[in-house]
A and B are shown apart, each in its own frame.
Chain A
Amino acid sequence: MVQIKNLHASIAGKEILKGLTLDIPDGQVHAIMGPNGSGKSTLSYVIAGREGYEVTGGEILLDGQNIMAMAPEERAAAGLFLAFQYPVEIPGVAMTMFMKTAINGIRKQRGEGEIDALDFLKLMKKKQAELGMSDEMMKRAVNVGFSGGEKKRNEVLQMAMLEPRMAVLDETDSGLDIDALKVVADGVNKLRSDKRSFLVITHYQRLLDYIKPDVVHVMAAGKIVKTGGPELALELEKTGYAEYAA
């Protein structure tokens, strides 16, 4: 479903991704672990289409289609989703309004009509309840005044609402207490299906106890340097990244 081929990307003239290759088939969960600054978030932004990155080589295919020339919203409509490492606050834009605009934005791009207002509210209520988020929070501006953990839950809520084909979760576990981690992992597991794939970026093996990955990659200095099964995460927990130092 997602193929990243020999991706090179730089920011401010500095090459961060240095020939990264990754293949995530339908229905699989892949985890990426790697030292700080190795380029994990950069990869997630380049996948989502953020401006400011210069892609100097390689390509990303979604269901065989090259997405490199697509705007972020077009990628969203094509089924991509990024749960941000640092979710962004948007003062003055209420959560419900934001969510509805997002759903309708995607529907419009897909040539579908707007979602029925009542259906939307029902859907929102259901997903909110699953993630333990109150109505009051949904009335607030996007992420404004949310605690670190609430922001991460909110990322998963948005993912659940938008039902992407492919989701990248960038350290969605960091900042979560143990109970919240379970709630968030449940949220992700509910969405697992043979039609949907995940790329889970994390520093901690613990998350992978809850979200069982099919494949674990180690990323260092802008490349995938090792690929293995779930046991690789356990191994890293013990040995650290010393042997992958660039």
Chain B
Amino acid sequence: MTTATVTKFPEKSPYQPDTAEGILRAYEAFVAEIDDQPQWLADLRKSSLKEFKRRGIPTPRLEGWKFTNIWPLVKAYGDKIGQIKVSHDNVDGVIITPLLQMLDQDWVKAALSEDMPPGQHNTENTLWHLGNIYLRNGIVIDVPANTEIKKSLELLTSAGEGAFFTDRMVIRLQKNARLTIVEDHWGKGAFWKNRLTHIVLEPGAKLTHIRIQDDSDKSVYTQTTNVHVGRDAVYDAVVLCSGAALSRNQVRVTLDDTCASCHLNSATLLRGEQLGDTTILVEHRAPHCQSNQNIRTVLDGRAHGVFQGKVHVHQPAQKTDGFQMSRALLLSEGSEMDTKPELEIYADDVKCSHGATTGQLDQEPLFYMQSRGIEEKTAKALLIQAFVAEVFENIEDEGLKTALERKVEAWLKL
């Protein structure tokens, strides 16, 4: 029997169980509609329900949520559970199946049952429980061994107005398979979307995972991605996040075997009252693995950026190469950036570095450009584009890279 882990927590609780009630108002009606599910899933749902009721929505009293207060923005979404629709073209060689048809597969079952991210990162994730409670929508993407998919798989996620949506993506690249996924989010109106993604990269596989989140600035976007990277496999992620009133991007990458690597590149562009939170945990569990985090945040208006990144090097992970860099650009007085970089190292032969900077646009290049006849607004835009561009450097597909750069340009013109 699979159940979610039940953890004990101290007397003086940082949780707010009372919030659960509101969010769960739609639960009875929701389960009544579910007629056919394997016992293990029913159990998982039930134990997640129990956990969620004990903890509720994460509060800023939790270490991993201290900069991001989601309750005020999500409390309105308890009454209606919507359905997420993911549309995509068919790409030869990629097997895409609705999640509910894959529940008898052991690997899918294992993926759904794994808590993410775990409590030890102190990013206590009751959003995962919430995903389990309302688990119904989702797709499974599988690429057979030794298949290199040239065409990128584009996934457009749409959600209607005024509801809470949650779905699961379970992705597996078998040995030496290669795939590029482009995840597009541009929902309109007010909603709360909570996506959970589980990715398994078998030895030698490489996934390029591009995520463009431009949901309406009335929406809430929370997503948790849990990635397992096998021997010699590569997880290459590029995020461009400019949407939602509040977004929380949680990523845990576990480098499970020798020479696994990940590159987590992210650009977050925010203005107005937006909040964008990127919280990453990279776990080095094997020797000779490499991880790289490059985070760029551009903040205007009264926007608030958050980056929490941790590299956890376990004792066997000798010869680890871990890098983490967060750079934020404040374009206005009212904007704000919080960063919390962390290294936790238990191996002795490792190369790890991290850094975080928050600053404003340099005046010198600005004046230099203006003195050449470039208008101030254009000069600023060029500098901001240059600041962000590094995040896209790894993308091999020139068309995709240009498309992302164009999106940054478009954001700057707003």
Contacts and interface: CB of A to CB of B under 8 A. Distances in A.
Same complex origin of A and B: yes
Task: Using C-beta atoms within 8 Å of the partner chain, give the interface range for chain A.
Answer: 20 to 34
Interface of B: 363-365, 367-376, 378-379, 382-383, 385-387, 389-390
Contacts of B376: 71, 73
Q: Main SS of chain B's interface residues?
A: helix
B373 A162 contact: yes
10 contacts: A48-B371, A49-B370, A71-B376, A72-B367, A72-B370, A77-B373, A87-B368, A90-B383, A93-B383, A109-B373
Identify which of B364, B372, B378, B386 gathers the most chain A CB atoms within 10 Å of its CB: B372
B371 A93 contact: no
Contacts of B383: 90, 92-93
Contacts, number: 82
A102 B390 CA distance: 23
Contact of B387 (A92, A102, A158): A92
Identify which of A87, A93, A97 gathers the most chain B CB atoms within 10 Å of its CB: A93
Contact of A102 (B363, B367, B369): B369
A102 B365 contact: no
A98 interface: yes
A108 B377 CA distance: 14
B386 A102 contact: no
B386 A91 contact: yes
A212 to B, nearest CB: 27
10 shortest interchain CB distances as A-B pairs: A92-B386, A76-B373, A106-B373, A72-B370, A102-B372, A88-B368, A105-B373, A105-B374, A90-B365, A73-B370
A92 B389 CA distance: 7
Identify which of A73, A76, A77, A87 gathers the most chain B CB atoms within 10 Å of its CB: A73
B373 A92 contact: no
Identify which of B364, B371, B373, B383 gathers the most chain A CB atoms within 10 Å of its CB: B373
A190 to B, nearest CB: 20
Contacts of A193: none
B374 A101 contact: yes
A93 B362 CA distance: 14
Contacts of A97: 382
A76 B372 contact: yes
Given A92-B390, A93-B386, A50 B374 contact: no
Interface string A109-138: 100000000000000000000000000000
A81 B236 CA distance: 45
Nearest to A101: B374
